[in-house]
Amino acid sequence: MTAGAQALETPPSSSPYLNTVNAPHQVRLLDNDTAALENVLQMIGRARKSIVMEYFVFNPDRSGRLVLQALVRKADEDVKIRILVDYNANGIKPGLDSFYHDELARHGVELRYFNVVDLLEFWRSDFGIIASSSSSMTKKC
């Protein structure tokens, strides 16, 4: 610990999912989907200046739409929202397609992708492999 820094113990939380070790570090153990969704929505609701979210997989299913709706409400309150999503996590196309991208942008939400590469093209060029329509793989001559 550096000079002047102190480990501050915080009082126990009433939340069954929050365990504080040493302030300001917190660990939340979320053992089910409902608790995780509730936690994300609560954190979005408490945001005042900005929200930065990163997801490997983000789908606009029922829970995904709840998160997007909460983010749009916050963006409409002038909270800066930035979302980073893995482009290839869902296989060929991202879960948040151009409709969601455009709708989020209309509310000032910045949606960006990482891992934006055509995986088939990557395999073709770097490994000398091509895929035919029958899904068989052959070596490039």
Q: CATH number for the domain including 128?
A: 3.30.870
Query: Domain span at residue 135?
Result: 18-139
**Does residue 117 form part of some domain?**
yes
**Does residue 5 form part of some domain?**
no
pLDDT of residue 30: 75
pLDDT of residue 18: 56
**Does residue 26 form part of some domain?**
yes
**Does residue 72 form part of some domain?**
yes
pLDDT of residue 50: 96
**Does residue 12 form part of some domain?**
no
**Does residue 43 form part of some domain?**
yes
Beta-carbon contacts of residue 115 (< 8 Å; ≥ 6 apart)? 86, 87, 88, 89
Show the 3-state SS of 40-97. Answer: HHHHHHHCCCEEEEEECCCCCCHHHHHHHHHHHHHHHCCCEEEEEEECCCCCCCCCCC
The pTM score is 0.65
Counting the structural domains of the chain, the total is 1
**Does residue 10 form part of some domain?**
no
What span, in angstroms and rounded, lies between the C-alpha atoms of 53 and 55? Answer: 7
Average pLDDT by consecutive 10-residue portion of the chain (141 residues)?
43 56 66 88 95 88 94 97 84 74 94 75 53 36 31
